[in-house]
Amino acid sequence: MDQDTLKRFTTSMILCMGLLFAWQYFNSPKKDDQPAKQDQQQSSTDTENASKSSDDPATLTAPTGQWSLVAVPETRNVTMGSLDSKDGYDAQIIFDSATGSVSQVLLNQYKYKIDDEANGYPVLNPIKDADDNIINSFMLEKMTIEGLTYPFMLNGKCWKTSQVTTGSDGTQSVSFTATVNDGDGKAALEIIKNFSYKKNDHEIDFSIKLVNKSTNSIDIKGIKFYGPAGVLREDSRTDSRAVTLGLLDEDNEFDTTRSTVKDLNDKKDFFGTETLTLENNQKFRWYSVGNKYFAAGLRPKTYEDDNALYLSEGSILAQGFILNDPPEKLTGPINTFGFSTKLKPAKTLDAGKTVTFDFAAYVGPVERQFFKEAKYAGLNYDQMTTTRSCACCTFGFLQVAVVGLLDGIHKVIPNYGIAVIFMVLLVRLLLHPISKKSQVNMMSMSKLGPKVEEIKKKYAGNPQEIQKQTMLIYREQGFTPILGCLPMLLQMPIWIALFTTVSTHIPLRHSGMFPASFGWLNDLSAPDKLIAFSSIGIPSFNFPLVGEVNAVNLLPILLGVAMFLQMKYSPQSNMQTQTNPQAAQQQKMMMWMMPIMMFVMFYNGSSGLNLYIMASTFAGLIEQHFIRKHIKEKEAMESLAGPSKNVIVIDGKAATKIGEKKKKPKPPFKMK
């Protein structure tokens, strides 16, 4: 959908909704009407009786008279779970009785901001659409019935709330019931929403029952259903929030289709829409909304259901909203994300019959360890976030290894900042033989500088011959150009794996080298923020390639310094400076460009990744210093011992030059 089409579609939607609410306002009953009729949706004309008989189950008798939604003027909010993890629950769930939906879910093992005094991460929150209509998670809205020209709006005060009950195992339950009366004032249809929540579980069992209380069949054309909503932005660098539709493709392989906040919203319009549709023979599995670390998803407990259609039109509508009641410490825009779909019985609901939409709603962190339980097998819940899907397709096996190594170190050293530094030492120790060989290789190359210059003078004007003779002397000396870059090349996959680890590993969130009260390096998943601009009265600003700059971050500065020193004191740099003025100029340019590039790339990066690369670079400098010192000492010892003129000292060992290699003496006779 192009932008112009999107604008026209959005405008038409807003106009239609405006007309709908204007119609409801001018046709609403007066204040002196009976309370039981306050929220009724009125019709201009009654529907005529259907000509077919209701004795045949396959036929439908059209509703007669004015059907009405029974009003429940008194509402009260109820809660399930607890904010104290010692009670055994993972979250507190707050319900809005007026709409029979979930207003907010607070995870009791996580904080919204690192300096919050108490836990309670608001993973789901109330939202508002373009017309300021308040929307909650798992809310029902417009229901249409065949034979009635008016819809029933289920987002008003029409839900009767039960008491919260607690079973012997601690499972809590609550139900909400809305009733539609027929033209005679008798109950014709009941909509019952049941919620239950167990201890030590991130899933909420949730069902919607449609009960035909009349003596005739009822054809429900559809009910608008809102999924989880109000997810907050987590990533300070990019907005990774997304609505995801999980599915099976034609080959029964799991796949996803998704829409992100970046796809929909810009700074001028929070209310973009995009339709996610099943295609060909794809099968629906779940839908979700999530950010960098947390997600809320809904899956039918029974996929192949002949009675209930969880995706009646084969699609969901992803939509941008704004937060109705933003958290006090919210920084940045108040836009958020949500989605809606249509629920529908697969067939006409006969008299006395019931159809049930049975869900399991996962609300919590997106972390592999939570999905090892048997009930999550094959669901691929780790695909609920964009960062997880990216991590799974790039160095996934290495990411698992990095997570295992980091968590293993953390069990011994319960500080993730120190664990990252210790991991640097382990990796450097494993790569030391290669690093040592690389240093020896580059130092041997520096000794070949004069000979390379002689070749250039001898074959001036013949670049092919210069390259041929240069490579020949490199091969004779055993020099491999790529060996100098090998240690960094081997670490690049580790950097990428660590980047995805820091971006997705929930234990690193709000974990750092220092406590939160220290104010620096206390969250490895975010920039280190040595000095926040807000604390000194300086406004934030946007910088090309960096994004929003709102603090002085020390680690990227130290990383740039470390990279500059590494470029400056590399043996290859010294050799090129001495032998080739043009190469020396290029090397000088790279000496500045490389640190600047690293500084820009990682300025708003996570402090965990910056800490690793910075510590690894400084460790490499120290390692390089001692290796070179060791080699020079060995060379000095060999020179004092008086090696022949035909010897080059490499790695502390004397070797005769190529071309004058002595043959081993043959034995006087062979052993048989």
Q: What is the pLDDT of residue 62?
A: 56
CA distance 371 to 374: 8
What number is the average pLDDT over the span 417-443? Answer: 84
Give per-residue pLDDT as tens, 507-538. 889 998 988 778 899 999 889 989 988 888 89
Give per-residue pLDDT as tens, 536-584. 889 888 888 787 888 999 999 999 999 898 888 775 555 544 445 665 6
Q: Compute φ and ψ for 28, nearest 5 degrees.
A: -75, 155
Q: What is the pLDDT of residue 141?
A: 96
* Selection from 401, 577, 587 nearest residue 494 by Cα: 401
Among the listed ranges 76-90, 183-197, 358-372, which one has the minimum average pLDDT value? Answer: 358-372
Q: What is the pLDDT of residue 35?
A: 36
Give per-residue pLDDT as tens, 107-165. 999 999 988 889 999 999 999 998 999 999 999 999 999 999 999 999 989 999 999 99
Gyration radius of the chain over CA positions: 34
Q: What is the pLDDT of residue 659?
A: 41
Q: What is the pLDDT of residue 491?
A: 78
Give per-residue pLDDT as tens, 604-622. 888 998 999 999 899 988 8
Q: Are 127 and 101 within 8 A, CB to CB?
A: no
Q: How confident is the model at residue 68 (pLDDT cuts 50, 70, 90)?
A: very high
Among the listed ranges 104-113, 298-307, 350-359, which one has the minimum average pLDDT value? Answer: 298-307
Q: What is the pLDDT of residue 403?
A: 86
Q: What is the CATH number of domain 3-393?
A: 2.70.98.90
What number is the average pLDDT over the span 31-39? Answer: 38
Q: What is the pLDDT of residue 89?
A: 97
Give per-residue pLDDT as tens, 259-294. 988 777 655 567 889 999 998 889 999 999 999 899
Q: How confident is the model at residue 637 (pLDDT cuts 50, 70, 90)?
A: confident
Q: What is the pLDDT of residue 38?
A: 35
In the chain, % of residues over pLDDT 90: 42
pLDDT beyond 70 at 317: yes
Average pLDDT taken over every residue of the chain: 80
Q: What is the pLDDT of residue 482?
A: 59
Q: Residue 325: is it exposed, middle or buried by C-beta count within 10 angstroms (0-12/13-18/19+)?
A: middle
Give per-residue pLDDT as tens, 458-511. 888 788 888 788 778 777 766 666 565 667 777 778 888 887 777 778 888 999
**DSSP state string for 122-185:** EEE--EE-TT--EE-BT-EEEEEETT-SS-EETTSS--EEPPPEE-TTS-EEEEEEEEEE-TTS
* Selection from 123, 112, 234, 109 nearest residue 525 by Cα: 234
What number is the average pLDDT over the span 40-57? Answer: 36
Specify the pairing of strand 121-124 against strand 273-277: unpaired
Cβ partners under 8 Å of residue 121, min gap 6: 106, 107, 110, 111, 112, 294
CA distance 462 to 485: 28
Residue bearing the bigger pLDDT, 389 or 429: 429
Q: What is the pLDDT of residue 270?
A: 73
* pTM metric for this prediction: 0.77
What number is the average pLDDT over the span 69-86? Answer: 91
pLDDT beyond 90 at 47: no
Q: How confident is the model at residue 34 (pLDDT cuts 50, 70, 90)?
A: very low
Among the listed ranges 44-53, 246-255, 593-602, which one has the minimum average pLDDT value? Answer: 44-53
* Selection from 133, 124, 92 nearest residue 231 by Cα: 124
All CATH 2.70.98.90 domain ranges in the chain, comma separated? 3-393
Q: What is the pLDDT of residue 643?
A: 52
What number is the average pLDDT over the span 200-226? Answer: 95
Q: How confident is the model at residue 55 (pLDDT cuts 50, 70, 90)?
A: very low
Q: What is the pLDDT of residue 19?
A: 45
For 628-638, give one letter per residue: b (16+ CB within 10 A) or e.
beebeebbeeb
CA distance 273 to 263: 9
Q: What is the pLDDT of residue 395?
A: 61
pLDDT beyond 60 at 393: no
Q: What is the pLDDT of residue 663?
A: 52
Q: What is the pLDDT of residue 475?
A: 73
Beta-sheet strands, E only, within 249-334: 254-260, 273-277, 283-290, 294-300, 308-309, 315-323
Give per-residue pLDDT as tens, 154-209. 998 999 999 999 999 999 999 999 999 998 999 999 999 999 999 999 999 999 99
What number is the average pLDDT over the span 40-63? Answer: 39
pLDDT beyond 70 at 12: no
Residue bearing the bigger pLDDT, 44 or 641: 641
